Amino acid sequence: MAHRIAVVEDEAELAALIEYNLTRGGFQTRVFPGAEGTIKELEAWRPDLIILDVMLPGQDGFEICRKLRQGTQLNNTPILFLTARSDEVDRVLGLEIGGDDYITKPFSPRELLARIKAHLRRLETGAPAKSTELVLGPFRVDTAARRVFRAGMELELTSTEYRLLEFFLSHPAHAWSREDLLREVWGEQHFVTPRTVDVHIRRLREQIEAQPEEPTYLVTVRGFGYRFEVASANNS
């Protein structure tokens, strides 16, 4: 069955262009104009990935993203921002509130397709084959269901945050550079930057640390990258 891609875009000509290219790429595509009620419509259709504009008529894309990440049925669905807002502050904000990717207009349809396929491949191949459960200290990962629990409480993670935390829990006590993490977690998505890693680390710390500004699990290795502290996890 073809993957479902939702396109939340109010510019009719651009939406038609995106829909045409995605349909040619083998995806089942539906356009949502971004008016009030978009979130309910998205939940009813259950897309596998959402392409989201920022400047929309009802509520902006950042607000839609925030609401989707707050416990809706689509809180783990990859969100790819596609917008004319190209300032770094907007890029960082889009990632910090739960976006998995950020593309600025004008864009290449081929690059858009490549990024979509990369995110979907990550969803399909992200779970280890030999085990459906990973436990370290207070953390328990159900790899089959792609759910993470800390001290019995489920964490609300985006698809990228899940992959990042699963990787750290699978490789504790090892220092990883930003370039290492880009290769191991983002894989073929060569368009992401080391800054992207920092943004997702910050968001992940907000989920797992009691004091995100003074992390005890996901610590910074000064001048190098990051390490997951196995001792802290086992003592929790």
| pLDDT score at 129 | 43
**C-alpha closest to that of 53 among 8, 99, 119:** 8
143 with 119, same domain: the answer is no
In this prediction the pTM is: 0.67
| pLDDT score at 160 | 87
86 with 155, same domain: the answer is no
Q: What is the pLDDT of residues 40-62, one digit of tens each?
A: 999 999 999 999 999 998 789 99
Residue 121 has pLDDT above 70, yes or no: yes
Q: What is the pLDDT of residues 163-217, one digit of tens each?
A: 999 999 999 999 999 999 988 888 765 567 788 899 999 999 999 999 999 999 9
Domain containing residue 199: 133-234
75 with 162, same domain: the answer is no
93 with 137, same domain: the answer is no
Q: Report residue 13's pLDDT band, with 50, 70 and 90 as the boundaries.
A: very high
Contact by Cβ (8 Å): 163, 122: yes
Contact by Cβ (8 Å): 148, 170: no
d(CA 194, CA 55): 27
Side-chain half-sphere exposure of 175, counting CA atoms within 13 A: 7
86 with 192, same domain: the answer is no
The domain boundary residue, chosen from 109, 125, 141 = 125
Residues 6+ apart with CB under 8 A from 128: 134, 143, 170
